[in-house]
Structures are given as structure tokens and as C-alpha cells.
Amino acid sequence: MRRSLFALALVLLIASAASVLQSQSAFPRLTAVSPDAGKAGDTLTVEGENLDAAGVKALYLTDGKTDVKTDILDQSATAIKFKIPGEAKPGRFSLMILTGGADPKLIEQPVKVTVET
């Protein structure tokens, strides 16, 4: 009896770990943007992983205090083409994503964009 309970607990633990690993592997991640600078209205492309519409619902420029939503022009699993919004002030910004799914999260990414005057 004790061995069967241990085996059941082990199976549940392994299944839970596999589920966590699967959800982590599908997590959106930005890796680079080109060009890395532009003016309001310019189009830039950010590259990464798991960037399709199911994984990324929105893309923002953020300075840690103010978030400005970008217009997504094209989106695939490995790239998002977006336009720098007209209301973006000049400066250096991080890109931030709104994840999809049942529990959406705003996640600031280590990719930076410079908005020029």
C-alpha cells in the first residue's frame, strides 16, 4: 500500500513538472529589435520566440512609469512588426508584452528601443 501511494505521488509529481516545463517553453520572449531606433510612425521588427497572436496580445513601449501601446502590423511565431505610436515621447524604452491565455501578464523584456525626435 505504501509503495503504491509513493508511486502515485511520483507519477503526479512528474506529470506536474512536465506541465510546468511545457508552459515555460511556450512563454513569449523577445530577443532583438531592428532597427533599434526610430521616430514616431516608423516601423520596427522585434524577433523572439512564441510571439504569435495566442502568446502575445499587445506590445508596449515602457519607461517604467508610462506605457504606450504600439500598433502591431504583422505577427508570427518568431517576429512582430510594429509601428512607433505618435504619442511616444523621445527617449529610451523597454519593450513590454501582454501575454495571452487565461491569466494574461504584462512582462517587460530586456529589448530596448530609442524613440528619436
For the chain, the average pLDDT equals 87
pTM of the complete model = 0.78
Residue range 8-55, pLDDT digits in tens: 555 555 655 555 444 445 899 999 999 999 999 999 999 999 999 999
Continuous segment of H or E residues that includes residue 70: none
Beta bridge partners of 95: 61
Q: Which pLDDT value is given to residue 85?
A: 96
Count CA atoms within 13 Å of residue 45 on its CB side: 8
Continuous segment of H or E residues that includes residue 8: helix 2-25
Domains contained in the chain, CATH given:
28-115 (2.60.40.10)
Percent of the chain with pLDDT over 90: 74
Q: Which pLDDT value is given to residue 26?
A: 82
**pLDDT level of residue 101 (50, 70, 90 thresholds):** confident
> Mean pLDDT throughout 48-72?
96
Peptide bond into 35 cis (omega under 30): yes
